[in-house]
Amino acid sequence: MAISVLNLLPNPTIPPRVAQGGLQVLSGIVECRFRGDVAGTGRDTLTFNVGPVSFTGHSGPPIASCTVSLASFGFDGPGRDALWAVDSAEVTKFVNQDKSSGTAHLEVVANLAVRGEAALVLRLNYSLFYTLS
């Protein structure tokens, strides 16, 4: 079962006309709720969209990279041997393409892990780097 996004809080971005070489940097916070279970380490996927970014109609994958890190995590009660992790993060594809405005959003997929019944992840930071294809 995928992790639900509760809220997406983007930081102000540098306008593309100011960015050197057309590199766009997008960052912000994703609010979610991912809780551990009794059966050891739980792993699940969080998918969210970032943007809009400039889009030329390129049919291949975006030329983009991202990092996702823990911003708020906790342990709700007594316990031991807890774990919180971002196993991987990648920009997978363009979504919400609008050819009339020349924009699209970028889909980010992050794989998370928690261990411990009371372990939870509440917020994640993201930094995304995109260049026009």
Q: Judge whether residue 67 has pLDDT over 90.
A: yes
- Tell me the pTM: 0.89
- Within its chain, how far is the Cα of 31 from the centroid? 10
Q: Judge whether residue 9 has pLDDT over 60.
A: yes
Would you list the domain boundaries of the chain? 5-131
- Choice among 11-15, 40-44, 64-68, 99-103 with the minimum mean pLDDT: 11-15
pLDDT of residue 40: 83
Residues 6+ apart with CB under 8 A from 131: 21, 22, 23, 24, 63, 64
pLDDT of residue 80: 74
Alpha-carbon span 118 to 74, nearest angstrom: 8
Q: Which of 24, 21, 14, 34 is nearest to 124 (CA)?
A: 34
Q: Judge whether residue 52 has pLDDT over 70.
A: yes
Residues 6+ apart with CB under 8 A from 13: 24, 25, 26, 27
Both tokens assigned to 105: 């959003």
